[in-house]
Amino acid sequence: MDWPHDPDGEEGSEGRRKYGHAVLAKKVDEDEDFPLTAAEYVEQYGDHPVRIDYETVVSVADIFEHVDQEEFEDFPDFHKSLGRALREADWWPYRLEQA
């Protein structure tokens, strides 16, 4: 896929130093951007790459296909919804051990 910028460059995952949630979160200003709608976020960033792990890159729009909220009241609400979406899509690299 042709990305608007390198997923590992300074605009992407900062040379593979930032993945998933961190890449999505740094696109918003916690104090100024809320409330925020999913449609607004995807309109602005939908074609941007998000590195999930060392071998997987998906678009913001791909992730938001799994987001079940239309609007986010604040940053924690946004963050929790994206966490659920990443887990639903099996793009959450951290797993809890089942006892």
**35 prior amide bond cis, ω within 30:** yes
Evaluate whether residue 80 is within a structural domain: yes
Evaluate whether residue 64 is within a structural domain: yes
Number of domains comprising the chain: 1
Evaluate whether residue 91 is within a structural domain: yes
Evaluate whether residue 90 is within a structural domain: yes
**Is the pLDDT score of 49 beyond 70?**
yes
Over its C-alpha atoms, the chain yields an Rg (Å, rounded) of 13
Q: Write down the pLDDT at residue 59.
A: 94
Evaluate whether residue 30 is within a structural domain: yes
Evaluate whether residue 57 is within a structural domain: yes
Q: Write down the pLDDT at residue 92.
A: 81
Evaluate whether residue 54 is within a structural domain: yes
CA gap 7, 67 in Å, rounded: 21
Report the chain's mean pLDDT, rounded to a whole number.
Answer: 87
How would residue 69 be classed by pLDDT, with cut points 50, 70 and 90?
very high
Q: Write down the pLDDT at residue 99.
A: 52
Q: Which domain holds residue 89?
A: 21-95
Evaluate whether residue 13 is within a structural domain: no
pLDDT tens-digit map of 2-17: 788 777 778 777 777 7
